[in-house]
């Protein structure tokens, strides 16, 4: 009897780092600063620092778990192994539903910068269809295209920083009152919204069956990608706030483009728009790949329909899962609101990483790479950020998580009755 086709280890350290960067650089830089400024003013920089600390705790937990469990699925697989099937299911479910919202947000962000007025949603739908097709032709195609996208985005961000340095600074941006105008609650909420930008390193862990020497490569790639992204976000955040001020940043639909335009360099607008569109495509490309691998892992355990567990015999990708993801995202693009999608995505991802920290904290000395205190801090940080998200995002998130729990409970009852 022939063996079903499986995943192939083709990705090296540089490939894995670029996939993580492709998910992070763009997801937050071009979409999360405005809503964060609306709730925290200049204090969003404190929120960014909090999000970075929580992200570092989560990244080290994911790296430690990935070294011990080098398989597809990320925290879904780790939660099952360390905490039990129910915890793994909740992690996987939160990842899938949260990142489906992220896909819709990235498609709409791309269209906002690239499409003519009135054509945003059709262009977003075409972008989703095109990138699902790219993913279906193999992970090496995904990695190669991600490298190109990351380089183009970094060039665009360099232009933003250079133009911002030449622009007239906004008055009184760094006054104490601007840092505290949102209060502690506003700063924490901005941290939760900006955490949306840091979640890309999860994509590296979800591809554990396609990375060479995963026990060594995945932990290194996760930490390297995150540290680089933190530096980029800090530089861009200071630049945008310094040029526009917190009020104009909050009111802008394209704060980086507006900050570059303030320099008076007329050519910067198109460059930044191209960079924003490219960054959104890079994030969307990596998101589709990551959700596909988690869906594959869940389907293998019957936590999602078994139909999604297929791996293409030639391209070695979970093609049915990725095609299904594309169809769901295309439907969501027709109805979703961008800022609402960011809040909902943050809810799902923070729950996902709460479980990652809990799983890592259970690991014994032989598997431990980082102090347990980091995982405790990650648990506290995820809890603090999730409870300060917008109330609608929390309410919808709880309903969707409960729906997933009800689905698994009903499926288990059905399986038992059949037996």
Q: Hey, CA dihedral for 269, 274, 279, 284, is it positive or negative?
A: positive
- What is the Cα–Cα distance from 81 to 69, expressed in whole angstroms? 8
Which pLDDT value is given to residue 27?
55
Please state which of the ranges 42-46, 152-156, 370-374 shows the lowest mean pLDDT. Answer: 152-156
Residue of 31 and 333 predicted with greater confidence: 333
Under a CB-based contact definition with an 8 Å cutoff, are residues 217 and 211 in contact?
Answer: yes
Residue of 357 and 206 predicted with greater confidence: 357
pLDDT tens, position by position, 381-394:
999 999 988 888 89
In degrees and rounded to multiples of 5, residue 72 shows phi and psi of -70, 155
- What is the Cα–Cα distance from 195 to 382, expressed in whole angstroms? 10
207 three-state secondary structure: strand
- What is the Cα–Cα distance from 250 to 270, expressed in whole angstroms? 21
How far from 284 is each of 27, 32, 36, 131, 135, CA to CA, in Å? 8, 15, 21, 8, 11
Under a CB-based contact definition with an 8 Å cutoff, are residues 260 and 163 in contact?
Answer: yes
- What is the Cα–Cα distance from 313 to 299, expressed in whole angstroms? 17
Q: Is the pLDDT of residue 371 over 70?
A: yes
- For domain 13-418, give the CATH number: 1.20.1740.10
How far from 288 is each of 142, 340, 354, CA to CA, in Å? 10, 20, 22
pLDDT range class, residue 196, cuts 50, 70, 90? confident
Side-chain-side CA neighbours of 353 within 13 Å: the count stands at 41
How far from 142 is each of 139, 145, 212, 338, CA to CA, in Å? 5, 5, 16, 25
DSSP character at residue 173: T
Predicted TM-score of the model (pTM): 0.80
pLDDT tens, position by position, 93-109:
998 888 888 888 888 88
Which pLDDT value is given to residue 5?
54
Q: In 10 A of CB 84, how many CB atoms?
A: 11
pLDDT tens, position by position, 97-148:
888 888 888 888 888 878 888 888 899 999 999 888 877 775 555 667 777 8
Q: Residue range 204-223: average pLDDT?
A: 74
Q: At what angle do helices 120-136 and 139-166 cross, to 10 degrees?
A: 140
Residue partners of 25: CB distance under 8 A and separation at least 6 = 150, 153, 154, 157, 200, 229, 232, 279, 282
Q: Is the pLDDT of residue 326 over 80?
A: yes
Side-chain-side CA neighbours of 8 within 13 Å: the count stands at 11
Which pLDDT value is given to residue 1?
40
Which pLDDT value is given to residue 195?
84
Residue of 270 and 28 predicted with greater confidence: 270
pLDDT range class, residue 187, cuts 50, 70, 90? very high
- What is the Cα–Cα distance from 267 to 69, expressed in whole angstroms? 48
Alpha-helical regions (H) of 252-305: 255-261, 268-300
Rg (CA), the chain: 20
């Amino acid at each position: 009897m022939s063996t079903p086709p499986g995943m192939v280890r083709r990705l090296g350290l540089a490939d894995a780092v670029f996939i993580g960067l492709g998910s992070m650089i763009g997801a937050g830089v071009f979409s999360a600063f405005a809503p964060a400024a609306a709730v925290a003013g200049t204090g969003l920089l404190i929120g960014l620092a909090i999000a970075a600390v929580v992200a570092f705790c989560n990244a080290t937990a994911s790296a430690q778990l990935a070294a011990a469990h080098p398989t597809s699925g990320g925290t879904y697989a780790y939660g099952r192994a360390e905490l039990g099937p129910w915890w793994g299911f909740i992690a996987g479910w939160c990842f899938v539903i949260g990142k489906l919202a992220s896909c819709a947000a990235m498609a709409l962000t791309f269209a906002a910068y690239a499409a003519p007025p009135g054509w945003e949603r059709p262009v977003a739908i075409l972008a989703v269809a095109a990138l699902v097709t790219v993913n279906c032709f193999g992970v090496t195609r995904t990695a190669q295209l991600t490298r190109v996208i990351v380089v183009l985005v970094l060039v665009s961000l360099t232009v933003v920083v250079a133009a911002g340095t030449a622009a007239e600074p906004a008055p009184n941006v760094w006054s104490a009152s601007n840092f505290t105008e949102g209060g502690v609650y506003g700063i924490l909420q901005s941290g939760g919204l900006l955490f949306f930008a840091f979640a890309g390193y999860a994509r590296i862990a979800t591809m554990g069956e396609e990375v060479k020497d995963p026990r060594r490569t995945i932990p290194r790639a996760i930490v390297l990608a995150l540290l680089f992204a933190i530096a980029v976000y800090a530089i861009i955040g200071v630049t945008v706030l310094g040029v526009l001020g917190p009020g104009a940043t909050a009111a802008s639909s394209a704060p980086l483009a507006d900050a570059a335009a303030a320099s008076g360099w007329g050519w910067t607008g198109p460059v930044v728009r191209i960079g924003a569109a490219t960054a959104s495509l890079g994030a969307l490309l990596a998101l589709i790949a990551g959700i596909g691998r988690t869906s594959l892992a869940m389907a293998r355990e019957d936590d999602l329909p078994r139909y999604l567990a297929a791996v293409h015999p030639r391209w070695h990708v979970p093609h049915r899962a990725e095609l299904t993801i594309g169809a769901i995202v295309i439907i969501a693009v027709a109805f979703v609101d961008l800022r609402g999608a960011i809040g909902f995505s943050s809810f799902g991802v923070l729950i996902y990483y709460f479980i990652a920290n809990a799983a890592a904290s259970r690991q014994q000395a032989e598997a431990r790479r980082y102090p347990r205190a980091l995982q405790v801090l990650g648990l506290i940080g995820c809890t603090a950020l999730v409870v300060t998200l917008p109330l609608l995002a929390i309410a919808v998130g709880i309903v969707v998580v409960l729906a997933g729990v009800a689905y698994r409970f009903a499926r288990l009852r059905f399986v038992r009755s059949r037996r």
